[in-house]
């Protein structure tokens, strides 16, 4: 009898639990359903957005390739539809600048590069356009403006720091400051991340300045060849 009573109580208890569970579901189940719908909808929207962005990038790339083959590639590249993306517009302008340089029109190349600096949203893209502008202008660039630009591009952590330091060395050579240029070149060579191409160009510059291949005078006592700030101690270039 006791066993049957216990079984009856268990059944009633289970039924009560089931009723409470159903009541809770009826009361709050819509919240769980809403969360599931939001999760599924968010995932679908993310996939859709990524697909659209990928298609837009591919379409722009195809348009850029077609523009490079146009009768007037400079104008075609500069007129590329960036789709409201500043960095894509900056890239098109940099491509237009490259085409202008290939055509021997330095002034137009510089104009497009300056426009790219203004259009770029990503700091890396902006610094790339600024460095390309310095390279395009060369000795024709105002020395003070060039020194100010290169000083900003050579701050520690800047993405194109070593290439900008190379341009500082080139400017020093052009200004007739061979010893300062050699000092800066050796400081660049001591940095981490020097590519083979950059290393070869630096070695060629030292040879052109009269230093024997492989020679690298010791730095003064206490100097740290890996100190990022060392290159910044070179005085501004004046012409």
Average pLDDT rounded to a whole number, residues 123-141: 94
Residue 110 pLDDT exceeds 70: yes
pTM above 0.75, yes or no: no
Average pLDDT score over residue span 113-142 = 94
pLDDT for the residue numbered 159: 94
3-state helix, strand, coil in the chain (%, to 5): 75, 0, 25
pLDDT for 48 equals: 79
Would the pLDDT of 234 be above 60? Answer: no
Q: Is the pLDDT of residue 6 over 60?
A: no
Q: Is residue 115 a contact partner of residue 127, using CB atoms and an 8 Å limit?
A: no
Query: Residue 11 above 80 pLDDT?
Result: no
Q: Residue 70, SS3? A: coil
124 within 8 A of 131, measured Cβ to Cβ:
no
Average pLDDT over residues 202-207: 93
pLDDT tens by residue, 20-70: 777 767 777 667 777 788 888 888 888 878 887 788 788 888 998 999 999
The predicted pLDDT at position 31 comes to 74
Name the range with the highest mean pLDDT among 3-7, 32-36, 184-188. 184-188
State the burial class of residue 29 (Cβ atoms within 10 Å of its Cβ: 0-12, 13-18, 19+): exposed
Checking if the pLDDT of 142 tops 80, the result is yes
Q: Which distant-in-sequence residues (6+ apart) come within 8 Å of 210 by Cβ?
A: 178
Q: Which of 160, 74, 83 is nearest to 111 (CA)?
A: 74
User: Average pLDDT, stretch 3-9?
Assistant: 58
Q: Return the closest-CA partner of residue 82 out of 57, 62, 99, 48.
A: 57
* Mean pLDDT, the chain, integer: 82
The DSSP 8-state label assigned to residue 229 in this structure reads T
Tokens 């052109």 sit on residue? 208
Q: Give CA–CA dist 11/82, Å, rounded.
A: 70
What was the pLDDT predicted at 5? Answer: 59
Which tokens is 197 given? 């191409």
């Amino acid at each position: 009898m006791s066993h049957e009573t216990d079984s009856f109580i268990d059944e009633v208890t289970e039924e009560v639990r089931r009723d409470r569970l159903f009541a809770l579901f009826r009361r709050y189940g819509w919240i769980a359903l809403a969360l599931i719908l939001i999760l599924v909808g968010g995932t679908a929207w993310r996939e859709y957005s990524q697909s659209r962005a990928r298609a837009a990038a591919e379409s722009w790339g195809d348009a850029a390739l077609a523009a490079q083959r146009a009768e007037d590639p400079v104008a075609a590249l500069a007129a590329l539809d960036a789709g409201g993306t500043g960095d894509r517009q900056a890239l098109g302008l940099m491509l237009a600048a490259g085409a202008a340089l290939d055509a021997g029109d330095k002034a137009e190349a510089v104009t497009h590069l300056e426009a790219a600096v203004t259009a770029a949203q990503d700091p890396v893209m902006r610094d790339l356009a600024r460095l390309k502008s310095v390279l395009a202008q060369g000795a024709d660039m105002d020395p003070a403006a060039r020194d100010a630009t290169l000083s900003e591009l050579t701050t520690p952590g800047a993405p194109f720091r070593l290439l900008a330091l190379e341009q500082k060395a080139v400017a020093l050579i052009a200004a007739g400051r061979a010893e300062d240029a050699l000092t800066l070149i050796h400081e660049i060579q001591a940095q981490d991340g020097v590519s083979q191409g950059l290393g070869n160009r630096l070695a060629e510059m030292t040879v052109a300045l009269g230093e024997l291949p492989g020679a690298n005078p010791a730095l003064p006592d206490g100097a740290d060849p890996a100190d990022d700030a060392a290159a910044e101690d070179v005085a501004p270039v004046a012409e």
